[in-house]
Structures are given as structure tokens and as C-alpha cells.
Structure 1
Amino acid sequence: MSSSNSVTVQILDKEYSIICPPEERNNLVSAARYLDGKMREIRSSGKVIGADRIAVMAALNITHEMLHRQETPDVVSGGTTREQVRDLLERVDNALADDTGTKNV
């Protein structure tokens, strides 16, 4: 891969240059931002000191979230993401219709 496929991300005030396919660039940047946010949360708590330890705690927290989502069936969480979006759109439409109805009264 060429250097044009290199993406520079910043995690906990350090820059990392990572090579990835162009179609994965946005996902990589999003993942780096998410990781950076988790690491900053842990650092700001003051309970964990040192970048290595913060990184391990962030990795454990993220892995725990991921495994918890996999264990939770879609039925319990309210269906698939597509169904959840449809439900939200329907609720927004209903709320807007109700709001419009009360203004006309």
C-alpha cells in the first residue's frame, strides 16, 4: 500500500499513522475518535495512571460493551437498527403531526 493510504489519527495526544484501504478510512477515523474518547474518560477519572494502563482499561471496556451487545438478542433491544430507525421516524412524524394539530386549534 502506498502512503496515500495512510491515515493519521490522534489518540490521547499522540499521533499514529496507520495504513488502511481508502474505503475503510472513515471507519478507522471513527474508531480512533471513539477510543480517544474512552481513554480520556478513564484518564479524567484519575483512578488509572499511565497511558498503557489507560489503553488496557479502554480496551477492556470497549470489549465488554461489544460482548454485551452480542449477548443481547435483537428482540430484547427492540429489534434491528433499521427497525429502530423506522420506529423513531414514525414517532417523530406523530409528534410533528400532533404539534401541527395543536397549533391549528
Structure 2
Amino acid sequence: MSNGNSVTVQILDKEYSIICPQEERTNLISAARYLDGKMREIRSSGKVIGADRIAVMAALNITHDLLHKQNLPDMQVGGSTREQVRDLLEKVDLALAGEGAPAPDASRG
């Protein structure tokens, strides 16, 4: 991809090219570095095997941290956001429980 708005980031030794507005490049690179660090922590623990599972665990940990660091009463946090997170967690639980389930399409998103 040679798009001027494309940023290449590396997460767990794999490169991803992402289209991003120029003013968001620094934030995207910081987010990718943070995610890479979290995923490496999980991988080095040896308790989770497979890049997909490591990514899911990292996403759950980051989401958990975000929700608990907001320190806002339930009424102040958008109810729809909490519902979306709960729905996503349920889907993750179902996906992890299904041993023979097909892997999610990583190209979407």
C-alpha cells in the first residue's frame, strides 16, 4: 500500500498497514505499541497460545482497564457502551468455548 494516509505498524512481529488521517498517525502508532506490549506480556506468560487468543485476551484486558479507570458511576457511563462491551464479551466467550469454530476474518474491522 503506497497510500499517503497509510501507516505501517508492527504487532507481535507482524506488519499491518492501516489507513489513517494524518492528524491521528501519532495516536495510532502509540496504540499499536501499547497493544504490542500487552500482547507480548500475555505471550511471555505462557498461559495463552496462539495469536488470535493472545489478541482476544489483550483486548479484554485493555477494555477492562479502560472501564475501571473511568471511575464514573454507572449512570454517567453511556449505557449503550456498557451493553456493547457486554455483548462483545459474550461473543468472545462463545468463540473461545467453541473449539472447532472458524477463526474470525482478520481482514474485516
Q: TM-score range by the shorter chain?
A: 0.5 to 0.7
- Which residue does 2:83 correspond to in 1? none
After TM superposition, list the pairs within 5 Å mapping 1:1-105 onto structure 2.
3-71=3-71
Displacement after TM superposition at 1:71 (Å):
2.7
Distance 2:36 2:70 in 1: 23
Distance 1:72 1:29 in 2: 28
Aligned length: 72
Where structure 1 has 5 or more consecutive residues not aligned to the other structure, the ranges are 74-105
- Which residue does 1:100 correspond to in 2? none
Displacement after TM superposition at 1:72 (Å):
5.2
Deviations 1:33-78 (A, max 9, x none): 00000000000000000000000000000000000011358xxxxx
Distance 2:28 2:46 in 1: 28
Q: Which has a greater percent of helix?
A: 1
Deviations 1:5-43 (A, max 9, x none): 000000000000000000000000000000000000000
Distance 2:52 2:27 in 1: 24
Distance 1:13 1:40 in 2: 10
How high is the TM-score relative to the length of structure 1? 0.66
SS of equivalent to 1:18 = strand
Where structure 2 has 5 or more consecutive residues not aligned to the other structure, the ranges are 74-109
CA RMSD of aligned residues (A): 1.4
